A and B are shown apart, each in its own frame.
Chain A
Amino acid sequence: MNVQVNYFGKIAESLNMSNEIIPISDNLMPLNLRNFFEDRYPHLKESSYKIAVNQEFTEEIKSNVQISEIALLPPFAGG
């Protein structure tokens, strides 16, 4: 399936985009998302971030889940 992935803050800056469509094959399930994104973008290994699927924080996609969007969200400190 094709999944919309949204990037925030410094993650978006380091990738030079705020979103993209990524094809995720059903036969990858269950999928460890952190490994998936760090294989795709190795520099993410150096960053702190949370992953959300359908607006809920998680690390993994289980099989048979319909995914409308994924988000990668780094912590912010500024005030």
Chain B
Amino acid sequence: MLTKEEQEIYNRHLQLDEVGLEGQLKLKSSKVLVIGAGGLGCPVLQYLSAAGVGEIGVVDFDTVDKSNLHRQILYSYNSQGKKKVEESKRRLEENNPFNSIQTYSERITTENAMDLIGAYDIVVDCSDNYDTRYLVNDCCVTLDKPMVYAAIYKFEGQVSVFNYKGGPTYRCLHPESPNSDSQENCSDTGVLGILPGIIGSFQANEVLKLILEIGEPLSGVLFQYSALTNRLDKFKFTRKEHEIYDQIRRGELNPDNYGVSCGLDEIQEITDDEFREACAGGVQLIDVRNLDELPRLDHLNALRIPLLELESRVEEIDKTKSTVVFCQSGKRSKIAIQTLMKTDRFERLINLKNGVGSLEFAN
């Protein structure tokens, strides 16, 4: 049922044969998870909310930075320093108080991805790095949720719908994450401010089409747009299975497959020998593995803070000491260092490059 006021708000939808009351009720009863409240996430959230999607989840661990304002149009000058999910919720509820916005001020990881994605009907990937995209894709495939994907680079953007009714997935386009050479994204690449507005609007349009079951979704099609030339391309591709889907279906969602995020290249790293010296020299050690991971390495007397708990337990860390962070392979510890660098100033944070998995000292 729609209230009288909702009928007024959605009047122009109700007038469309393709939407109508039935379609509007489909929108109202749908649950959509938006991952990333940045350049793409802002227009997606605004249009989904305005269109009357009943429940919208928004995941983002970040706060609003001055350099976000030229493209992330949900945020105002006064939003700086505030959590993106909270600012989004406030602004969206001002625009449309008739739907529910759930906020998750956290990074999506192998620990929480299945639960988050499992609670929604459709997932919108507005993230800004390959690791999140692969994680979201892999969880969507194994939980059988459609994923509406978009990504941008400078003046160009692309959109596709993955895993829709058994259709192709992200790994059918790019089976593995690109090498580090291709990883420049996020904060260090320029982007025309309006580009994510254009591409995010295409993305929101795909979401509405899936909910309303109208038109031709971009399933098996990579839509590509150039803002400089207005060139549009639609590339076709087909479904190919990938072994990682079977691994995850067996319950093996391995954090090390999604470890390396963008902008992590400048982090100082040490190898095994230097690590041994550092331990002898009395540095502070932080083990960000889960508590059940082996080897336990109790003799190192490391502070044991699993990556997921890091932000809430940052006070336990002595910020004045040189600190080596480690995990099994060196990837999660890099993310941990990036997280720590965002929360506070630390004297020195060093990553154990290949983790303790390859370490030759169980002594």
Using a CB–CB cutoff of 8 Å, the interface residues on chain A facing chain B are: 6, 8-10, 18, 46-48, 50, 52, 55-57, 71, 73-79
Query: Chain B residues near A56 (CB, 8 Å)?
Result: 235-237
The reply to whether B182 and A75 form a contact with Cβ atoms under 8 Å apart is yes
Contact-size category for B: 35 or more
Query: Chain B residues near A75 (CB, 8 Å)?
Result: 130, 151, 173-174, 178, 182
Decide yes or no whether B245 CB sits under 8 A from chain A. Answer: no
Q: List 5 A-B contacts (CB under 8 A).
A: A8-B224, A74-B182, A78-B152, A79-B41, A79-B196
- CB-nearest residue of chain A to B127: A79
The reply to whether B151 and A79 form a contact with Cβ atoms under 8 Å apart is yes
A46 to B182, CA, bound (A): 9
The reply to whether A9 and B156 form a contact with Cβ atoms under 8 Å apart is yes
Question: Which one of A9, A18, A77 lies within 8 Å of B133 (CB-CB)?
Answer: A77
A-B CB proximity, top 7 nearest: A48-B178, A77-B185, A76-B151, A79-B128, A76-B153, A78-B152, A79-B40
- CB-nearest residue of chain A to B182: A48
Query: Chain B residues near A48 (CB, 8 Å)?
Result: 174, 178-179, 181-182
What is the minimal beta-carbon distance from A55 to any residue of chain B, in angstroms? 5
Question: Which one of A8, A10, A55, A79 lies within 8 Å of B126 (CB-CB)?
Answer: A79
The reply to whether A77 and B236 form a contact with Cβ atoms under 8 Å apart is no
What is the minimal beta-carbon distance from A45 to any residue of chain B, in angstroms? 10
The number of inter-chain residue pairs (CB within 8 angstroms) is 90
The reply to whether B129 and A8 form a contact with Cβ atoms under 8 Å apart is no
Q: Looking at chain B's contact residues, is the secondary structure mostly helix, strand, loop, or mixed?
A: mixed
A55-B236 in contact given A9-B156, A50-B174, A78-B39 (Cβ < 8 Å): yes
The reply to whether B186 and A78 form a contact with Cβ atoms under 8 Å apart is yes
Query: Chain A residues near B218 (CB, 8 Å)?
Result: none
The reply to whether B181 and A77 form a contact with Cβ atoms under 8 Å apart is no
Decide yes or no whether B157 CB sits under 8 A from chain A. Answer: yes
Chain B residues 82-112 with CB under 8 Å of chain A are none
What is the minimal beta-carbon distance from A40 to any residue of chain B, in angstroms? 19
The reply to whether B235 and A73 form a contact with Cβ atoms under 8 Å apart is yes
Chain B residues 222-275 with CB under 8 Å of chain A are 222, 224, 226, 229, 233-237, 262
Decide yes or no whether B146 CB sits under 8 A from chain A. Answer: no
The reply to whether B130 and A78 form a contact with Cβ atoms under 8 Å apart is no
Chain B residues 142-162 with CB under 8 Å of chain A are 150-154, 156-158
Decide yes or no whether B38 CB sits under 8 A from chain A. Answer: yes
What is the minimal beta-carbon distance from B193 to any residue of chain A, in angstroms? 13
The reply to whether B235 and A52 form a contact with Cβ atoms under 8 Å apart is yes
Decide yes or no whether B330 CB sits under 8 A from chain A. Answer: no
A79-B39 in contact given A9-B153, A46-B181, A73-B224 (Cβ < 8 Å): yes
- For A10, A46, A50, A56, which residue has the most chain B Cβ atoms within 10 angstroms? A10
The reply to whether A47 and B181 form a contact with Cβ atoms under 8 Å apart is yes
The reply to whether B130 and A77 form a contact with Cβ atoms under 8 Å apart is yes
The reply to whether B36 and A57 form a contact with Cβ atoms under 8 Å apart is no
Query: Chain A residues near B178 (CB, 8 Å)?
Result: 48, 74-75
A74 to B129, CA, bound (A): 14
A9 to B279, CA, bound (A): 45
The reply to whether B179 and A79 form a contact with Cβ atoms under 8 Å apart is no
